[in-house]
Structure 1
């Protein structure tokens, strides 16, 4: 136990260590039995896990006493003197009381745990407790092991991942693998241990070289590194059917810079410094993943060992870590961030940026109830339902189904009958009593229901009940309004116009429209004004006017882009025209004009009657940036990409994307997108690039 005090003295300031040692001795001296001493030692292990987060005394004290409090063996004097620590530990015990049923929606269960905790420190403390229990998994019986395994996979690994507690997440994943696949785990651990030191040395060496590289390029950036842990290696081997020798990212480095241009400059320098591996370069900047993820990925050889290097801007990194491209979405095959993900990623930012705030500020932020205004309750079968804070059993009934709400005659909460206006709280188990002969909801319910779902469905019931009266009332109102406006209503109520009204307001028929007007959900002004607009458009003198494009073959009729100012104008990505190119416009139906280069191959597939010859405006040239595409055929050799990107940078031209592929004759095709203002700019660049040694051909691409 003296080891704990030694660790504390290494991690905190002397005055803080003195206070912690005082509490340590107080609890230690209160432990008289072997069971108390064992639980005390478990608490010390919990606390060491959370020390790297540098949180407050309450967290440390709560970690120490949690196991004793769980078994009701903590001295009363300590509980009374250290009230805040006791409350934190009790909050952990409170969320432990909620059992996770087999058919549970785990995402909602995670949300309920966080909502019950109210203070994120409770979740962090629980994660440390779970990690410590997992380290001693063999002490549990098979049933307890299986239960803990499911909780680790479904609850605690995802929570640790979202909070950015990677050291907890990684160890949980590795320990869980040792439980589910013990033989594979031992085998992989042995293989990885053989060159563990070499990988550490490689990471340190390359980190220093990359830092020096940024200084030489005069680029401000940040270098990060990681070694793949055993469960991640296992997953990749089995998911992609790889052998260990086929994994090129056992060690990986990440370079963060400010701009896209700097990304490509660093890439060129990396490929000059290290030998790139064929087929291992991926440009996710020019071609982002479907989830918006952007980065440059390349694998290189360093001291005869492969190493992955990722290069991205700080904004791209922020999106990858906290946006819809967040790594846990990729690992869990999720397509979007849900509400809980967003809240926990915000907490993660606070933890990761703790160096920029005081300990007090960080703790105050972590005390924030991330689910303020929301509660999570359960059905008798364990399904979790999210409701606004202040909700009642009636709100719960209508969230389940409108028919359950309409036939509700009573409710039980946690097995006891309660009034229908009883306020629900987190983790309540709610059972609705229904009667098929019930006449429906009471209008009094509208005075105490909290959720919009309940309010809307109660109102819908009464709207339907009064529909006949509302139809008559709405029809009379519309006729009177038309009469007041001196409008012939018969000419407006025709099928073509009504279809548009029905679609706009989600109506099925004319009776629905009258009923909505009668109950006040629609106004006569809304309906009449739209009908009059549709009638006017249809009967306008301009109704037969159709813009007929000039045939491209007629050289005498040429229009300027300026003449199309009332139309939506787009520049075709297939050929990327720039000022100075001869251009042709294609007039699409409802999507404006798309401008192509006159030699674009796509034009032959378009309707010739919708093509027109165009000229550039004077203001288009020299002031606006356009994307142009270049194709280069080069010798397949190290450093050629760096030469090309450096030459482009010399011309003060920005690169917006770059891709490459090898040809059969040991050459490489490189495609570069650049931002230029005119055709002359791109022609000058082509000349410059053509003068580079080992560049065979340079041309505009996709023409």
Structure 2
């Protein structure tokens, strides 16, 4: 068959939905490509132009617009023939030239196994998608034809392309709702990566199908009779299980081949949404439905726009899976976002809702890209969102929110708006107070409680599951850490300068610039942040500032012994709520009123210890790194203290201790009974108090219990 007749074949295909003028534009693009690729051959020996033509056929199947088809014809022209983008714009207009340029840039992307390169390239892909989603549709069709014709390529290249297809392109096709493209990409990728396994499974499927023909025929005719009896329109299709999904179920769900294949799957396509629910009633009257296996994706569509009713029935001694949907839902289930162009003229509601979903998803990707520190962090967030298993929850006003399974109220808060996530302090689930870390279930109503000035908690990162929540929390924490390290660094430097009888405001700009340069940082703020993070010593920087710019000749270690005296004269005031960079040591658990010192910990800021803590360094040089601190007067926060209570064993004595702590306004965080013999026991408690006086009150109350023989505060 000559190339000419195939372009005629394409024109014929296009005449079902495009007018003659547009078909002629597509033909013109074909002839242009044919000339441009003159003399070039594919690996198989065919003329190169057969590839763009095949890509256009795939897009024609999806009923894509003429500009996408023209871009498909021309997608390798810039790359392979040296014809510039401007020349294409002149010939075919800016839209087509932009599409071709976008696809060319994606073609240059090689998702190498090196994670960084892969991540970098994934960012480029999301940018291209954000500009015009058709770029990715042409790219997916290009990839699909390449996968169909992988045969002649060398083994290593086939493996790389197949891996990239399964990792990146199939999930994107799925996310865009393009089920038919996604499953074909998965099956071709699977066959290329695991030829033996693929062959084995396909032979087993063919054999099994042959022996089960009678049962399939019997179920289908019963379903057909039921529809006729009730006067319901509907065509019944058998559904084949795809090789890749069979393999994944065997691998990840630990199911045997026969367990998976003992399910008979049918799809019933009908006219209206109303008919879908009527047909559901009809099939449920024919066979018993399995409890818990009914899903209504019509009322609550999946994130990629998929709609259908799913039910599993038990009949003829086998399980029967049935999907019920309308013709339009069927088209959108197979072609996803690509269906948007088919329905563009009649403004179908499903297609426009689907388009909005995709826009929202791409918009979300762009937001994450802006927040992510580097491309690896970005791809980590995105991979989560490419493999969603959705749950559906409601806002208090009844709006449906779709989230990946395992999502928590924090994920929900960020899905509503970043500011709501950042200010979230508590939540109500079905009107009752719930935990922020508990995974949500479909159908719950979730209400987020916010507080002005609240900030994300670093612990949230250990349980959130959506990319948006993770990237937003990291973004805020990073900025918070920066601001806090700057503040703490400034305080420590001012204190050290005080010891030299100098003020930061009095140091000249020239001196500051010299010290900044000497320490190889870009600004004074960076230097202050480094001090706050514990990476540089405030005293040394202060000495450089005082002595005229930190010249290289000055030994940096000289004069360390002076610091302790100076530090004691100007202690730093702490409130106990300084945030990420001031932490309390878990060894000695200091509380307001205790004499305390701060120990700078490289990269983590200041750790506050009791000044008698055994973990503090002994040698003089290390002790110069300690910062003398004093407590602010008006602290109302709670601090943890560990107490050890020795007592005679009596019934109810633990309850008495708990009650005594509560009477003194203390709060028990943890209580456990340690050594015991028949007469005596030891109880270890961690109690929240807001200072030494409060602690004394709690200890007095506990000491007054008759069974208690001794109580003391534990300092490791």
Pairwise TM-score range, normalised by the shorter structure: 0.3 to 0.5
Greater relative contact order (Cα < 8 A, sep 6+): 1
